[in-house]
Copies of this chain bind each other. A is one copy, B any other.
């Protein structure tokens, strides 16, 4: 993942598609999850830390997806992070996926920091808030 503007090149593979010949719509979010993990890692964080308890996990509370163009096996897409919203306990990342220079799909996912012992939301961990703020500044500039 390009750490200046959080873009990444992806190739659509057979496992992303269904018998209609195009991306099976939930796969947009599997791709989002991988991008999310790479974005975390670019900031020195990881889902592993969340699973192991050294960083508050941030489960998804809301997602939405838009499908504007059919996307097929072998298509090369450019994913880019388009916006970052930062709340006290939650944050939302919005991604765009382009074929050539036309937007083909969009995904927007909201995650909430959680204390798994209590099952309640908590304030965003400082390291995560820092990385979100840093990311937001880069996304605005790009």
Contacts and interface: CB of A to CB of B under 8 A. Distances in A.
Interface in A1-32: 11, 13-15, 17-22, 24-30
A102 interface: no
Given A19-B18, A30-B15, A74-B48, A63 B65 contact: yes
- Give the copy number: 4
Contact of A65 (B62, B68, B119): B62
8 closest A-B pairs by beta carbon, nearest first, are A48-B74, A26-B29, A64-B64, A17-B19, A26-B26, A25-B60, A19-B21, A14-B18
Interface of A: 11, 13-15, 17-22, 24-30, 33-34, 37, 46-48, 50-51, 57, 59-68, 70, 72-74, 109, 119
